[in-house]
Structure 1
């Protein structure tokens, strides 16, 4: 499969987006343990990502709370069910891994929800940053905990006392 890619500047750094003419496949943060760059065979192109760019810019400007983009989700049936659930968590709200597992009818699968959350190919778009530990703790995040905290502050979940992220443009 040949994908195109582009970069979108954001308050949390330069985001890599990749997809084809019909759907967005990936979003990667510039830092964190899940960040990645363009893969072999991908072609640079800004054209397919005009609407993605518009919606990401609107999200960070506070004008958009829910994304409406065609997405390509490739994963197990359970992963896809978790990712679809993420899309329904409202802006400014959070859920725990256990809450998601229970809602999906698998109350003992909070670790599996965590693993699916960690494999989310489209963070921000499918807002995995809105998932917290059972105690409300900020748990692992592919873009780094500082990025997760920034996104939650942006959405009003955490106090807005410090909106900066050291080392991010």
Structure 2
């Protein structure tokens, strides 16, 4: 799929929710991985290399490919950025999942939440709340494509690939939940 190993670059960045692994292709940001400590990072990069057809390489300092994602994530976590404006590479998702994730990215702004069933209705599949949950679980671009903003209809948080504490912290950052006490 990709022509050279240089086509996929990665960088690990610190954040308020722990280290994040940002991975980009020439098309745009393709993956965001939570809790990207060395062992998690190594495994994620191996899996991404297999899926993308090219082993990701660490971005050189000042990489143009990752400069905007790094800058925008820093601004998001300081409360200065409410909407990411990044080029995205959607190649790791397709079909229904991609449709749901695109609707989420465009239709659920900072500081708001949506129910799994509501999101299913928005994409014309009113009975597909569980499938929406599966789409959230397969989201390759969390935070940028804000799956943390999808909650249960009864007010419960629902699941989250980065862990419920991470989801709580992201929703608190956006003013949806009170800030954690600790």
Deviation at 1:18, TM superposition (A): 0.7
Q: Classify the secondary structure of the residue corresponding to 1:121.
A: coil
Query: Are 1:44 and 2:62 matched, yes or no?
Result: no
Deviation at 1:161, TM superposition (A): 4.5
Q: Classify the secondary structure of the residue corresponding to 2:13.
A: strand
Q: Classify the secondary structure of the residue corresponding to 1:55.
A: helix
Counterparts of 1:118 and 1:27, CA distance in 2? 13
Deviation at 1:22, TM superposition (A): 2.8
Query: Are 1:63 and 2:80 matched, yes or no?
Result: yes
Q: Deviations over 1:16-53 (max 9, x none)?
A: 0111233110000017xx98532252111141211001
Structure 2 unpaired stretches of 5+: 50-54
- Tell which has more relative contact order, 1 or 2 (C-alpha 8 A, sep 6+): 1
Counterparts of 1:156 and 1:27, CA distance in 2? 22
Q: Classify the secondary structure of the residue corresponding to 1:116.
A: helix
Structure 1 unpaired stretches of 5+: 165-169
Q: What is aligned with 1:78? A: 96
Q: Classify the secondary structure of the residue corresponding to 1:6.
A: strand
Q: What is aligned with 1:97? A: 116
Deviation at 1:140, TM superposition (A): 1.1
Q: Classify the secondary structure of the residue corresponding to 2:86.
A: coil
Aligned counterpart in structure 2 of residue 151 of structure 1, from 170, 179, 182: 170
Higher helix proportion (structure 1 or 2) = 2
Query: Are 1:87 and 2:105 matched, yes or no?
Result: yes
TM-score, structure 1 normalization: 0.89
Q: What is aligned with 1:121? A: 140
Q: Classify the secondary structure of the residue corresponding to 1:7.
A: strand
Query: Are 1:11 and 2:30 matched, yes or no?
Result: no
TM-score, structure 2 normalization: 0.83
